[in-house]
Amino acid sequence: MIIFSLAAVLVISLAMGEKKAEKPKPHYELDLSSTSFKVESGKDGSLVITIKATDGYKVNKDYPLKTVITETDGLSFRKIKFNKSDIKDISKPVINAPFKALKPGKYDVKVDLSFSVCTDEICEIRKPSITVPIEVTAGAEPNKA
């Protein structure tokens, strides 16, 4: 009888523990809408990331914001490391990384970010890594006479 009772308690405990923990909200969004996702070979483009705090959070102005872009073969970035001093308005950070499209192809650009979002009560450090797809198309053929 005791064995049955212990088994019943164990089953009930496991059943109650099966409820999956909800993934915590990140309290930020990364907006890439101003990025040049498709660029002609030989032309200039920009990888643009805007960090937007959400859910009543604000970007922490005191945290040492950092962004590192991993170089890729077909794109030449003017700058690949950014910090707080590169940002005009740290409360609404925009990272603008101009590049030249060197040769046709599809490239996945890895970007590592580090920043903090806060409320009046709590701060959270965020270190997302994202991959931004950029396609370089062949330039227009010159007109032949």
First to last CA, the chain: 98
| 0.85 surpassed by pTM | no
Tell me: pLDDT of 4 over 60.
no
pLDDT tens-digit profile of 19-50?
Answer: 556 777 889 999 999 999 999 999 999 999 99
Average pLDDT over residues 9-15: 40
In 3D space, the residue among 79, 76, 78, 73 whose CA is nearest the CA of residue 105 turns out to be: 73
Tell me: pLDDT of 75 over 90.
yes
Which residue intervals of 18-142 are DSSP H helices? none
State the average pLDDT for the chain.
86
Number of H helices, E strands in the chain: 1, 11
pLDDT tens-digit profile of 87-101?
Answer: 999 889 999 999 999
* DSSP states of 39-70: EETT-EEEEEEEEEE-TT-EE-TTS--EEEEP
Is the domain covering 24-136 a CATH 2.60.15.10 domain? Answer: no
Residue 55 has a pLDDT of 94
